Structures are given as structure tokens and as C-alpha cells.
Amino acid sequence: METHTRSIIKAVSYRFLGSGVTFAVAFMVTRKLDMAAGIGVLDTVLKIGAFYFHERLWHRISFGKIKPPEYQI
């Protein structure tokens, strides 16, 4: 089982990586540091939320999960 905190930490760490890439691409296209930073920040905020809800939705789906035994000795 995965906690909400773990899902949030995973989302944040993944977004830092992804947002760095987005920032780099935006800077290469616009050649404007402030615009690239704004795009990177907006991308981070929106995608952290999307990833978190995606993770929590998949947590509720039983597909591909192994059911724990009903009892343990």
C-alpha cells in the first residue's frame, strides 16, 4: 500500500526532472529566461496535480495488483 505522502513526494521529484526539461525546451524556443521560467513553473504546478490524481486513481484499480493472503502465519 502506498501513502498519500509517498505519492506526493514521487510526484514532486518527477516534476522537478520534467520541469527542467520543459524549461530547457522553452528557453531554446523563446530565448527568454523569464518566459521559460514562467512556463516551467506553470508546467510544474499543473502536472504535479495531474500526476497525484492519476496515482491515486490507479491505487484504487485492482488490475495488476497481487492480492495479499487473507491471513499470515
Place 23 in a pLDDT band, splitting at 50, 70 and 90: very high
Dihedral (CA of 16, 18, 21, 27) sign: negative
**Cα(63)–Cα(11) distance, integer angstroms:** 21
Count of all residues that appear for the chain in the document: 73
How confident is the prediction for the chain on average, in pLDDT? 88
Query: What per-residue confidence (pLDDT) applies to 2?
Result: 82
Q: What is the pLDDT of residues 24-47, one digit of tens each?
A: 999 999 999 999 999 989 988 888
Rounded to 10 deg, the angle between the 33-60 and 4-30 helix axes is 150
Closest by CA to 55, choosing from 12, 4, 20, is 4
pLDDT of the residue at 36: 96
Q: So where are the chain's domains?
A: 4-60
